[in-house]
Copies of this chain bind each other. A is one copy, B any other.
Amino acid sequence: MTILAFAGALRAGSFNRKLLAVAVEALRGQADIDLLDLRDVPMPPYDGDIEANQGLPEGARKFKERIAAADGLLICSPEYNHSIPGTLKNVIDWASRPPGNPFKGKVALLMGASPGPYGAVRGVLALRQVLTALGVLILPASVQIIRSGEAFDASGKLVDPKNAAQVEKTCAELLLVTRLMRD
């Protein structure tokens, strides 16, 4: 069983990369983890003329392959302007282009960390809407990290034990549901 795990931000020091690392640790040993850095699958902003004339960019093709090869998805994303980051929406838009819809039938767990008082609750909602459109079975539980600048200690661990427990619990659910849906 393979879980594709990626953060929705490109910034090297992104809090969502940190959150992803915590979650990947919780999954370790229980599934194959394909840890993806969106920097490794670069794509321009979606443009239908690029698609018509040149086909999908190499980054988009690779991203699609890695989604297709996975059974489950773990996405940690910030919220920009009360919604999904354009950067994340863009890679999803490219990956949704034919041939095939690699998202269909996958199970997903969503997490979000943002520096503000409401964290990424609206961004995660927006991401649910997008992945639902693509046929993803999204776990209702999520991990929400507010005030992300103070949420991690120097070693990258979550300071609040409730947050750490929620990561453990939801990762266990991701493994369980992905396994059930795969068999």
Interface residues of A (CB under 8 A from B): 9-14, 43-49, 80-94, 96, 117-119, 121-122, 125-126, 128-141, 144, 146, 177, 180-181, 183
Contact = CB atoms under 8 A, between A and B. Distances in A.
Given A12-B49, A121-B122, A86 B93 contact: yes
A126 B128 contact: no
B137 A129 contact: no
Which A-B residue pairs are the 10 nearest by beta carbons?
A86-B90, A86-B89, A11-B48, A82-B133, A10-B47, A45-B87, A81-B133, A180-B180, A86-B93, A132-B140
A93 B81 contact: yes
A129 B139 contact: no
Contacts of A87: 45-47, 86, 90, 93
A96 B83 CA distance: 13
Given A10-B45, A81-B93, 8 more contacts: A12-B49, A86-B88, A86-B93, A87-B90, A128-B128, A128-B129, A135-B140, A137-B139
A10 B49 contact: yes
A89 B82 contact: no
Contacts of A81: 89, 92-93, 96, 130, 133-134
Contacts of A122: 121-122, 125, 129
B140 A138 contact: yes
